[in-house]
Structure 1
């Protein structure tokens, strides 16, 4: 039956051109990101990420493993500034992804690579609750992903998504004593249509909303070292190409392990390893590695 499964999976992959790396990473938070900084603080963050995907999992039918691969090599430059609106803490930030998608194969069929800039993300946040003494931080953020990334309608694999996405997000960070804390976030992501989708362009790719949930349990140690165990889950995101369900979804669970350390009062280094499971309707990430540097001005 492989000769039947592979063409179906390849067709699904061709239909998902322009939608792979943008939104999932745009709103993926790291531990304690909603522990608010004082107003007037500016923070620069630099990310380097590598992810290997070793199978394609359709919504129905067996996974396509043989001859399937996709490597994501992504950098993100992020600049954030905290300020007050009256007595409420707020933040504005910009994120610029860049990088490449390489070694793309599906069922033995070699696909193109893609490199350059990803879609630019603008964000604004407010903290209705910013209680340092109780270690309680509750924030609301709106992310806007703009269609500025590399996109070629004649290519199957693209860094850019060629559409707008809006993502309202709520987040709670709560300290528990002097050493423990938890982070909880929830999103609902909305997508505009990509009207240059499909092999060769000219088709309309629409997508239903995606729900995203994230959680971390954090443990502080001496000398500015923190260890975190986390979970990320995405649900929904049914895609339609010219009104027909193409079988692609944003459905996966991800286990995450993160270590971070302030090496000076202004500089933090962080590393993460993660693995996806229960993937449906897309490439399955076998292993992901992320390194982040944070500098406080």
Structure 2
């Protein structure tokens, strides 16, 4: 048992950064690339809960018994649309906050972390913004700043102590009167964390992550929309001082989302999701999200 506990503790060294990041801006909701008019400002507030119940090494058996990690996250997001010449653009900032707690692997308890997570800033443009035919193509660059809480002496941290760059391309397309699809693709790059590993004295590096997301949306009467979605991530191999630590960003996720415009300016959204085919990290057994959107 001591071997598996040591293996699990080593695998946790940088994992929580990926856990918190996956629950942030990288995970898009349905019809996010359907545009608003220039001059529109939107505020979005998120409440997120996720339970992780298994650690799945790249090789060897999964660690199920006595393994857990709970994520409680809030996100405040402010976005503004404007024109650059004839092209619609957007700038936004996201500030996550919350906690990672009840962390244990194979019965070994680990620390908790609470406070501010890393700030995310983003800029987007729409080379195609065809509202008549409900066809939208957007290009976005998300940048994660190392502003979140980070303690090099702790295995579990909300902050990542590194920059993350995520260029993304997205397509949203209406089909008939009541259907639409969303497709996005990302290539995520990570800077080094020079305060990782044992006593925060090791260098963490990570290779690129490829991410794909898709939604099929159906609009019902009275502003209600139901969406079925998929998210998949591949890559993200991590090394500590040049040695593979077994962490990856490798999983598939099934998502079900319901949303409704309560008024012409206020939308409520709820999501439930589940991860499978996880390698090199925690498996998120259940994820829940509630989002409010208000348009100014």
1:86 CA drift (Å):
0.4
- Relative to structure 1, is the Cα distance of residues 19 and 179 closer, same or farther in structure 2, using a 3 angstrom cutoff? closer
What are the equivalent positions in structure 2 for 1:129-278 lying under 5 Å apart? 129-278=128-277
- Relative to structure 1, is the Cα distance of residues 277 and 23 closer, same or farther in structure 2, using a 3 angstrom cutoff? closer
CA deviations 1:71-115 (Å, max 9, x no partner) are 000000000000000000000000000000010000100000000
| 2:114 corresponds to | 115
Q: Which moved more, 1:99-108 or 1:13-22?
A: 13-22
Distance (whole Å) between structure 2 residues aligned to residue 234 and residue 149 of structure 1: 23
Counterpart of 1:134 in 2: which secondary structure? coil
TM superposition score normalised by structure 2:
0.98
Counterpart of 1:125 in 2: which secondary structure? strand
- Relative to structure 1, is the Cα distance of residues 112 and 35 closer, same or farther in structure 2, using a 3 angstrom cutoff? same
| 2:10 corresponds to | 11
Q: Is the 8 A contact 2:18 2:249 kept in 1?
A: no
Q: Is the 8 A contact 1:125 1:139 kept in 2?
A: yes
| 1:95 corresponds to | 94
Distance (whole Å) between structure 2 residues aligned to residue 198 and residue 222 of structure 1: 53
1:9 CA drift (Å):
2.1
| 1:53 corresponds to | 52
Q: Is the 8 A contact 1:18 1:197 kept in 2?
A: no
What are the equivalent positions in structure 2 for 1:10-49 lying under 5 Å apart? 10-14=9-13, 16=15, 18-23=17-22, 25-49=24-48
Q: Does 1:124 align with 2:91?
A: no
Distance (whole Å) between structure 2 residues aligned to residue 87 and residue 158 of structure 1: 43
- Relative to structure 1, is the Cα distance of residues 162 and 175 closer, same or farther in structure 2, using a 3 angstrom cutoff? same
| Matched positions, count | 296
Counterpart of 1:80 in 2: which secondary structure? strand
Distance (whole Å) between structure 2 residues aligned to residue 241 and residue 249 of structure 1: 13
Counterpart of 2:10 in 1: which secondary structure? helix
Distance (whole Å) between structure 1 residues aligned to residue 17 and residue 185 of structure 2: 25
TM superposition score normalised by structure 1:
0.98
Q: Is the 8 A contact 2:228 2:255 kept in 1?
A: yes
CA deviations 1:146-202 (Å, max 9, x no partner) are 000000001110000000000000000000011000000000000000000013112
Q: Is the 8 A contact 1:22 1:160 kept in 2?
A: no
Counterpart of 1:20 in 2: which secondary structure? helix
Unpaired runs of 5+ residues, structure 2, are: none
- Relative to structure 1, is the Cα distance of residues 23 and 166 closer, same or farther in structure 2, using a 3 angstrom cutoff? farther
Unpaired runs of 5+ residues, structure 1, are: none
